[in-house]
Amino acid sequence: MESLNALLQGMGLMHLGTGQAIMLLVSLLLLWLAIAKKFEPLLLLPIGFGGL
């Protein structure tokens, strides 16, 4: 249990703010639209990876 706690603290997830979480969700949504739905992949893939 201590190793899991140390892993989470080392990754920075404990200090994730609201704005950062929203940015990650938007980036993942853009990547999903580009890859799974094939909706403008040449535009959305670089934007999604840039957001990550």
Give the CA-trace dihedral at 17, 22, 23, 28, to 10 degrees. Answer: 130
Predicted pLDDT of residue 15: 83
Predicted pLDDT of residue 21: 93
Average pLDDT over residues 38-44: 94
Predicted pLDDT of residue 29: 98
Predicted confidence (pLDDT) at residue 11 exceeds the cutoff of 90? no
Average pLDDT over residues 4-29: 89
Contact 45, 35 (CB under 8 A): yes
Phi then psi for 16, rounded to 5 degrees?
A: -75, 125
What confidence tier does 22 reach under pLDDT thresholds 50, 70, 90?
very high
Instruction: Calculate helix-pair angle for 41-51, 18-35, nearest 10 degrees.
Output: 150
Helix ranges (DSSP H) in the chain: 2-11, 18-35, 41-51
